Copies of this chain bind each other. A is one copy, B any other.
Amino acid sequence: MAGKTHAGRFFEDYRLGEEIIHAVPRTVSGGERALYHALYPARHALYSSDEFARACGLEAAPIDDLAAFHLVFGKTVPDISLNAVANLGYAEGRWLRPVWPGDTLRAVSKVIGLKQNSNGQSGVVWVRTTGLNQRDEPVLSYVRWVMVRKHDLSAPAPEPVIPELAAAVAAEDLVIPEGLDFTGYDFTLAGEPHSWADYEIGERIDHVDGVTIEEAEHMLATRLWQNTAKVHFDASQRPDGRRLIYGGHVISLARALSFNGLANAQMVIGLNAGTHANPCFAGMTVRAWSEVLDKAMTPAPGVGAIRLRTVATTGEPFVLKGSDGRYLPEVLLDLDYWALMPL
């Protein structure tokens, strides 16, 4: 009526190089940690136990790395993806500092690429998003690109700029949390005996378990991150009344399921790439499998880095794409990331 509401940005509203300060900073507490455990079968000991985290050189258990990611991501939705047609990819993601209960997170994004589609109706926007804590220290940085609709079809197309993005974060660029030390790591309390040395590049692991998703669960999760995109909440958006599940919900589910076989891949520290291959809906039973893509040493005592592909699927493990090179319809997520493991 009076133009007070926020319709989101359209493709023509982005300018190369502009910095967008996202609204609604958020303070986290043990409440978010407890809810993360209720929403996902998360069992990695370093996030579950203050004592275990202290034995690894940290002051306490941080907020789960993916919870920090979702909180930062959620802030960006009203400015970046409210009118997005598709969430196309992630790159160059690095966790830069743990997030502790009591911290307040906010987010800023810089537009680093723009390319109008040939149909003139939409375009691709690349942003580099940074999450900051209350001391303005960066806690997380990643590139995301989305396809966004144009509102004013007559708006001129910007000069196309496609950023050059690394295929993966280089191992030497990973930022290991200060103090992290796995030399006294307790494999028994962590839940599995396999150390970094036990994993081989190319090795694949079926995480076995499946979790069936309910509408209430993914909506609670997505709201918790203050991601208010209507496709996740409003049954009237689709004829079948189903709500499209936030892709990050599937990321957290797959990561939590990966505990069974990767219990010692404690901290997610780098995000190389990620594809939401097919939409996820309530009623689906999600399973996960992983492949070891790479391994590297880190300067921290006893700490190795492992590069993993973790795939969320409603089907069989270890199948990903068809003969046409496209993801099979049962594949929901193909995530490529670095985690930290005891040597």
Query: A101 with B30: in contact, given A38-B221, A234-B285 (CB under 8 Å)?
Result: yes
Q: Are B188 and A226 in contact (CB under 8 A)?
A: no
Contacting pair B189 A24 (CB below 8 A): yes
Q: Is there an interface contact between A37 and B226, defined as CB atoms closer than 8 Å?
A: yes
Q: Is A40 an interface residue (CB 8 A)?
A: yes
Interface size classification for chain A? 35 or more
Stretch from A123-131, A156-164, A203-211 that touches the partner: A203-211
- The reply on A296 being an interface residue by CB < 8 A is no
Find out whether the CB atom of A189 lies under 8 angstroms from the CB atom of B38.
Answer: no
Complexed CA–CA distance, A40 and B102 (Å): 21
| A211:B190 contact, CB within 8 angstroms | no
Q: Which of A141-149, A170-178, A212-220, A272-280 contacts B (4 or more CB under 8 A)?
A: A212-220
A204-B2, A261-B4, A261-B5 known; A24 vs B223 contact (CB < 8 Å): no
Instruction: Decide: A38 and B5 in contact? CB cutoff 8 A.
Output: no
Residue A39, interface by CB 8 Å: yes
Contacts of A51 in B (CB 8 A): 25, 27, 104, 134
Query: How often does this chain occur in the complex, in copies?
Result: 3
Interface status of A115 (Cβ within 8 A of chain B): no
Chain A binding site: helix, strand, loop or mixed by DSSP? mixed
* Chain B residue contacts of A48, Cβ below 8 A: 24-27, 226
Set B1, B78, B207, B226: member contacting A5, Cβ < 8 A: B207
Which residues of chain B are within 8 angstroms of A188 by Cβ–Cβ distance?
21, 23
Shortest Cβ distance from A292 into chain B, in angstroms?
9
**Interface-central residue, A34, A45, A192, by most chain B CB under 10 Å:** A34
Q: What is the 8 Å Cβ interface bit string for chain A, positions 185-211, against chain B (1 contact, 0 not)?
A: 000111110100011100111111111
Q: How far is the CA of A206 from the CA of B3 in the complex (A)?
A: 9
Q: Note all chain B residues with C-beta closer than 8 A to A104.
A: 49-52
Given A30-B29, A104-B50, A23 and B191 touching (CB < 8 A)? yes
Residue contact B191 to A209, C-beta cutoff 8 Å: no
Distance in Å: Cβ of A31 to nearest Cβ of chain B: 3
Contact of A203 among B2, B199, B261 (CB under 8 A): B2
B27 A50 Cβ-Cβ under 8 A = yes
Question: Are the C-beta atoms of B24 and A49 separated by less than 8 Å?
Answer: yes
Query: Do residues B24 and A45 form an inter-chain contact, with CB atoms below 8 A?
Result: yes
Say if the beta carbon of A41 comes within 8 Å of chain B: yes
Whether A294 sits at the interface, judged by CB under 8 Å, is no
A5 in contact with B212 (CB, 8 Å): no
**In the complex, which of the residues A199, A205, A221, A283 has the most CB atoms of chain B within 10 Å of its own CB atom?**
A205
What 9 A-B pairs come out closest when comparing CB atoms? A29-B30, A31-B34, A23-B191, A216-B216, A25-B49, A212-B235, A31-B31, A214-B216, A4-B261
7 residue pairs A–B, Cβ–Cβ below 8 Å: A4-B205, A5-B208, A25-B48, A27-B49, A30-B31, A38-B220, A214-B216
